[in-house]
Homo-oligomer: A and B are copies of this chain.
């Protein structure tokens, strides 16, 4: 009666199911992402999802967490890492608009979750936390670069520049994802670096680590 199955360690299976959920959201939309669709995508029976996740809502929330990690993980790691302020800002910009985050499927996932941030408290909390962290990174990077160049700016100016930097990163990422087939990644980076240089009035350089 029961067909054979492979047993997977708990962690692996959970990860599989979360990624299957993300696939479904991308391919079917959130309204097409049923428990059964996720199970089929993951190659398991639908009952298994309830075994690993208390509810569908929990599963979706974990998919949001994973998505956010893909988006802000690399740039935040750079901002928190080593290097000169100028170099860090340069790499922060590149990580914010290219690499894994620049895949259209990530935009699709992000848009799905963002559209529901205001009606789902858990989503709101996830968003809030990451938003604050990213903005703080923008602020700290700008402050570092400005000090490095011995430029004096007011706290208000710093705040405004942080918002503007954040906006440019978001906007370029958005545009890049939405027309990924026609905008070259290197060009995208060049535009991003150029825009931030003009915004701050500071040269970031273009040297690529060998």
- Interface flags for A175-210 (1: CB within 8 Å of B; 0: not) read 100110001000100110011001101000000000
A104 at the interface (CB under 8 A from B): yes
| A residues 112-127 in Cβ contact with B at 8 Å | 112, 114-119, 127
CB distance from A201 to the nearest CB of B (A): 7
| A194 touches which of B114, B164, B172 (Cβ 8 Å) | B164
Decide yes or no: A172 and B167 within 8 Å by CB, A108-B118, A194-B160 being known contacts.
Answer: yes
Q: How many residues of A contact B (CB 8 A)?
A: 44
A111 within 8 Å of B by Cβ? yes
Shortest Cβ distance from residue A138 to the other chain B in the assembled complex, whole angstroms: 11
List 9 tightest A-B contacts by C-beta distance, closest first: A167-B171, A171-B171, A111-B115, A170-B171, A31-B31, A112-B115, A164-B195, A111-B111, A167-B172
